[in-house]
Structure 1
């Protein structure tokens, strides 16, 4: 069996009345992101893990080969055990269609949505706390247990923009609030984290449609 994280299930000895032996291997939740996701050579294993959220059962030759390798794992030598696990995952990823069964036909992708909400919440909190300084993509990538490259791909997929563009959008949103409070464009520029007034003015006009000064005057006229 290969069961993805956060999938409700009974112990597999439930209801058994005969003697049996189990070999259980548990992986940390970030195993996939930190070891497999950033590496192209692990593409087949990555696809296997993506399918595992429905639960997978294996039979036939695949099952026999994997059971043999599980029995041979020597947990007293962690490096060798890790290599053995990777070999096992590679074997499972290559199982013939008749040797693998999907245990849950329903789409339980809500688990992934929950993980994304938690991860994106961490990212939003970090941006909120650091937008007026110099947010470090390497630092936030570490906080959500991704390599920098994997984080950039993940963030672009989730938000349709780069991390830098998102931070600048967040800065501009806060800049509007400060401008509406009566502060000048020069004051607001540095307060929200920009280092160049000219760049702040250009970016603000590009995104908002008017310069900070015009935006501020327009608000005064309307109120």
Structure 2
């Protein structure tokens, strides 16, 4: 699945974006994408698939998720069924115009840090947030800004949440070598199903092999081999969600040994491929 960059345009006379989707699911965006803006998604009603970073699972009867800056994610219309209604807020971290020493500001900035892993809030929290989110659709100017702050303050004080990922994806790393990294990511995206020679990737980056290894580790906090394995496992999860067999997923994602694939899958998802298939089939949304 290709990861695309989405350009977010703030609403007129506003510093952030508020979207209300109450359309047939066939008209909703669900592509895997990323953007610098933090995103709060509240699915008021509906069931579908949440795909945030490395995490992929199903939701039913709505959802409330906070997605950090530059985390690749799919629209929550993915695999959804009618009726589907959602309110989406998209805003830059700089929208918080308070000194760091302010306690309230610190709690929200901590929330923003946690959002880099993707945060799923409880059904109770979602229910409590809906009135404010609906009121935001009717508000403008400073009133809408104050509502956003109220929502963020409330979310920052909660304990009933779940982090969707154990690691921060490399896409979230801000780097002066962004173009070089994007070229590497694109190469892996196009060749993950084949054997990847790290020497070829180093040449693509115009670096010697030792320099490339140091560059990639410094920029992403993981080795290139680990990145490739993570990418392949993520693709395997997508294939298994489409009812592909374990061995078929293994070979289709560049693993030439099913035993090694099983070991890597357990390492990065904390489940065996069989456990993943069992859990996914139990929660699978019928369309």
Q: TM-score, normalised by structure 1?
A: 0.48
- Structure in which a larger fraction of residues adopt strand: 2
- Structure in which a larger fraction of residues adopt helix: 1
- Structure (1 or 2) with the larger CA radius of gyration: 1
